Each structure stands twice: as C-alpha cells, then as structure tokens.
Amino acid sequence: MSQCIFCKIINKEIPGHVVYEDEFVLAFLDISQSTKGHTLVIPKKHAQDVFSMTAEDMSHVFSIVPKLANALKTTFNCNGLNVVNNNGVAAGQTVFHYHVHLIPRYDETDGFSNSYANNMENYTPEMLAALKEEVIKSL
C-alpha cells in the first residue's frame, strides 16, 4: 500500500522508532505517546483491520505481544498495560493498517482513559441468550 504510513515505516521510507522486528512483525513507539512507552505492533503484510487479518498473520502479531509487554514493564516500571485495537472509523481507527497498541499504565492520572459504558441494566439474561445465539449462527 503505497500511501499507508505504516507500510512506509516497514519499507524504511520514513523513520520509525523500531523496538522489535522479525520476518512478519514490526513494533515501534507511537509518536503520540499516550503514556510513556506507548508501542504499536503491526503485521508487515498489509491488512486494513481485524476483519481482513488471517489467523496466521494474527498469530504472528500476538506471538510477540507478551515479550514486548514484559520489556515495557521492565523498562518503564509501569503498574499495568492496556492492549488496545480499534477497527473501523466507528471504533476510532485512524490508520488503516492493522495495529495493536501496547499502552503502559502508571496510575489513574497517567492521562489514558479506559472507561467503558455499563449497560447491564439494559440487557436481561434472555436478551443475552438471544444475542449469543445470533453470534453462534454467524460462526
């Protein structure tokens, strides 16, 4: 993908602060640094999002996540880590090359929010059972 910024980093057309590279995966510091050490893990083979990833390519990406997570914990002495992946505009994806964010967490004031809406009161057990059946039909 000639216009993809992450492909340009992979191809060394533009610089990236690469922390890990192998035949299939590249990991580099996110220039936004949501928190200190914020790292992106990407497949070298272009895929737009999770919907276009193969199981094999996904396994390559996630095979390195624990190693990088531990390196970030050791390096930055963080107290936790968010593993975040946004797919599609509605989910907040802004670069359309599949990527996983590894965001070190230090405390509740580190500037990153991971709050999720709690809509439990809107779903009965029967509604959840019906949703489950819909998903199973699509597998």
What confidence category does residue 82 fall into, taking pLDDT thresholds of 50, 70 and 90?
very high
Decide if 131 is inside a domain. Answer: no
Give the pTM: 0.92
Q: Which of 14-28, 46-60, 83-97, 103-117 has the lowest mean pLDDT?
A: 103-117
User: Is residue 72 over pLDDT 90?
Assistant: yes
* Average pLDDT of the residues in 65-94: 97
Q: Is residue 120 part of a domain?
A: no
Q: Residue 75 to residues 29, 40, 79, 104: CA-CA distances in angstroms?
A: 13, 16, 12, 10
Residue 26 domain flag: yes
Question: In a 10 Å sphere around its CB, with 0-12 CB exposed, 13-18 middle and 19+ buried, how is residue 65 labelled?
Answer: middle
CATH number, domain containing residue 87: 3.30.428.10
The arithmetic mean of pLDDT across residues 112-139, rounded, is 90
Provide the domain count of the chain. Answer: 1
Q: Convert the pLDDT of each residue in 18-62 to its tens digit.
A: 999 999 999 999 999 999 999 999 999 999 999 999 999 999 999
Specify whether 38 is catalytic: no
Catalytic residue among 38, 60, 97, 99: 99
